Structure 1
């Protein structure tokens, strides 16, 4: 017979699980500001904004999209949980100046994956063809969307299109670059070792979501890595452009330890890729173990490894 103490412990864990589940089930995705009059657009741009985001960088990120040479889109920005007043003012200001900007919110912080799924589902009413990612501290080049949309229209077999990017610091000064493998074969072959698309650069064909696929909302990080692996295993075709179409903000704490949760999720993603893509090999397995160990090392070691990784990607990603 179980003791009273063990029974109480089980009830405690059950209640913790129950209330966590309820928290996520009752999240309310709601539209706060929407001046759009269009019933159809070709593309939906999705961005999530968080409490700790920099208001100045946020404005730069938004304006880099609203000033694109390509214009047939709606730009849905989700405040993922409460945000400071200075963030709210930026969102209200840009939405008042551009009818294509729609402001939404989550009742509490649910993470990027769930936010992106909500935008994708909201966007379906406009019968779009493309889903475009953008982050709140990056800057898209003026021709980014025109370049990517034009390419996808010419290559109907490609479902996910990323690009290279330029890395900038807090002051907007170039500090590096990230060029990913170009071809579908290269992208999929390297997935068991690393995420081979720059998530803020991607344009996803909307049929991926219409087919029922979603980001894994249980993941608070590495959601894109798992998503690409799932899509690759289902036969969707990928491509990376060599063009550096985005300026990616690399801040001071970039090289710090990523934390046990993210490091373990990256390790799980690599094992998931090995299994789903049938790429089991000693090299892939020991690479996954080695990266896990590296992620937990001091920042100086991570920085050195990161620079080596950029160099290898630059060579591997050349057309």
Structure 2
């Protein structure tokens, strides 16, 4: 988990406590302070660090970005010989059984390398405003891969052996790092899965659609082109879809919000029918 200047302290506290209160207890929570933070946030994190043996703070002098922070944690935690790597953002909330559920899944499915889950979207007040489902089986995830990122990044759990083969997030990307990584892993034969049960509450704030601007839209477009080329699935249909999504991403926030809801509805229908 990485925290930044401008993050809400109360949301960060909820996120951290949702991990510390997990039913599965054998974990280390790494919180990266990525650049300067306000005094209130520092007081909270310092107090939690002193109270909790399962929490460690890592601080950078300047803002490095999420990909660099995750890579740093991956390298730092490798000294503990961990078996799994979990992700979440500092405004998300894990359901209490999340870690236990994903650890059990990976133990029962030794062929699966990366497992995500569906999630519940919540607003600023914690009220549910939607649900984001994903295809569950590897072949379904691969079928969607050239059109969309087929895993909810804050929900994933990965076997650490994945990183031992040299794979990392691309630190040159300010967003969509996960999509590019999934494509690389898919091309190298790694196996994906999603758990249908929601294991995380994802914070969808009022500014969510405004933040999905030109830079992120272009990176998503690049990721789709990269997926087509790397997975050898270049086709008129996939190219048309990528261009269509790029056009939709350029819409005003109000129209983009409607398009987002329609996209989720279509995805849920496709997933349900498979």
**TM range, normalised to the smaller chain?**
over 0.9
Q: How does 1:188-267 map to 2 (within 5 A)?
A: 188-256=142-210, 258-267=212-221
Superimposed CA distance per residue, residues 63-109 of structure 1 (whole angstroms, 9 cap, x where no aligned partner): 00000000001111001111111111121121122101000111111
Aligned residues: CA RMSD: 1.0
Q: TM-score, normalised by structure 2?
A: 0.98
Q: TM-score, normalised by structure 1?
A: 0.84
Matched, 1:142 2:59: no
Selected match of 1:65 from 19, 37, 40 = 19
Q: Distance in 2 between matches of 1:212 and 1:199?
A: 20
Unaligned runs of 5+ in 2: none
Q: Distance in 1 between matches of 2:44 and 2:184?
A: 36
Superimposed CA distance per residue, residues 232-266 of structure 1 (whole angstroms, 9 cap, x where no aligned partner): 11110000000100000000011226222111111
Q: CA deviation at 1:314?
A: 1.6
Larger Rg: 1
| Alignment correspondent of 1:48 | 2
Matched, 1:316 2:270: yes
SS state of the match for residue 207, structure 2? Answer: helix
SS state of the match for residue 200, structure 2? Answer: strand
- Work out the number of aligned pairs and report it: 273
Q: CA deviation at 1:299?
A: 1.0
The ranges of structure 1 where at least 4 consecutive aligned residues each deviate by more than 6 angstroms after the TM superposition are none
Unaligned runs of 5+ in 1: 1-46
SS state of the match for residue 252, structure 1? Answer: coil
Selected match of 2:31 from 69, 77, 95 = 77
Q: Distance in 1 between matches of 2:68 and 2:270?
A: 33
Q: Distance in 2 between matches of 1:219 and 1:250?
A: 22
Superimposed CA distance per residue, residues 183-212 of structure 1 (whole angstroms, 9 cap, x where no aligned partner): 111111111111110000000110011111
Q: Distance in 2 between matches of 1:90 and 1:181?
A: 38
Contact 1:131 1:203 in 2 (8 A): yes
| Alignment correspondent of 2:71 | 117
